[in-house]
C-alpha cells in the first residue's frame, strides 16, 4: 500500500506542476510549430551544417547493435531534456533556443526525408515522436517557467519550488517518456 501512495503522491504533484507550467509548455509548442513550418517551407538556413551534423550522427551509430542505439538515443535525449530544465535559470533563454533549433531541425529533416524517400518514411517518426515531443516540450516549458519566475517577488522561494518540482517531473514523467521513445526509435533504426 505504501508504494501506491508514493506514486500517487508524486504523480499528483507532477500534474499540479504541469498545470502551473501549462502556458509555458503551450508557448514552447507554438514556437516549435512556427519553426517547424519555417524549416519545412524554407530548408535553406544552415543546410550544410545540418547535413554535416546528420552525417556525424549516422557515423556514430554505425556498427552499433539495437541496444546500443537505444541507449545512445535515450541518454542524448535525457541529457538534452535535463539541461533544458536546468538552464532555465538563465531567464529561460537557453530552453527557448533549444526549442527554436529543434523546431527548425524537425521541419528541415521531415522535408528532406520526404523528398528523398517519399512520404511513407514519415511513419518511422510518428511512433517515437508521440513520446519524445511531449518530453521535450515539458522540459522546455519547465525551463522557461524557471526563467520567467525569476521576475517578481519571492524569487528564492519560487526557484527552490520550481527546481524541486521540475526534478520530480523529470524523474516521474519525462524519464519514462524518453525511455519509451528511445526504445521505439532504437528498434526502428535497428530494423532499417
pLDDT of residue 166: 97
In degrees, rounded to 5, the angle at the alpha carbon of residue 182 between the alpha carbons of residues 12 and 108 is 105
- In 3D space, the residue among 66, 48, 88, 59 whose CA is nearest the CA of residue 169 turns out to be 88
Instruction: Please give the Cα distance from 130 to 42 (Å, whole number).
Output: 25
The mean pLDDT of 106-126, rounded to a whole number, is 83
Kindly indicate the confidence band of residue 192, based on its pLDDT and cuts at 50, 70 and 90.
low
How confident is the model at residue 3, as a pLDDT?
63
DSSP label at 56?
H
Task: Give this prediction's pTM.
Answer: 0.90
Q: Which residue has the higher pLDDT, 117 or 16?
A: 16
Handedness of CA 80, 53, 116, 75 (dihedral sign): negative
Amino acid at each position: 500500500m505504501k508504494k501506491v501512495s508514493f506514486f500517487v503522491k508524486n504523480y499528483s504533484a507532477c500534474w499540479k506542476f504541469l498545470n502551473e507550467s501549462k502556458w509555458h509548455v503551450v508557448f514552447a509548442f507554438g514556437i516549435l510549430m512556427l519553426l517547424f513550418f519555417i524549416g519545412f517551407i524554407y530548408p535553406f538556413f544552415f543546410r550544410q551544417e545540418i547535413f554535416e551534423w546528420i552525417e556525424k550522427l549516422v557515423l556514430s551509430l554505425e556498427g552499433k547493435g539495437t541496444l546500443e542505439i537505444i541507449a545512445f538515443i535515450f541518454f542524448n535525449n535525457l541529457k538534452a531534456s535535463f539541461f533544458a530544465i536546468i538552464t532555465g535559470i538563465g531567464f529561460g533563454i537557453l530552453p527557448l533556443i533549444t526549442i527554436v533549433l529543434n523546431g527548425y531541425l524537425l521541419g528541415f529533416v521531415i522535408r528532406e526525408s520526404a523528398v528523398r524517400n517519399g512520404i511513407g518514411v514519415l511513419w518511422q517518426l510518428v511512433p517515437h515522436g508521440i513520446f519524445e515531443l511531449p518530453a521535450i516540450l515539458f522540459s522546455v516549458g519547465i525551463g522557461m517557467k524557471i526563467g520567467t519566475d525569476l521576475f517578481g517577488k519571492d524569487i528564492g522561494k519560487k526557484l527552490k519550488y520550481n527546481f524541486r518540482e521540475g526534478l520530480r517531473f523529470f524523474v516521474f514523467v519525462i524519464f519514462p517518456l524518453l525511455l519509451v521513445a528511445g526504445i521505439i526509435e532504437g528498434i526502428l533504426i535497428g530494423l532499417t
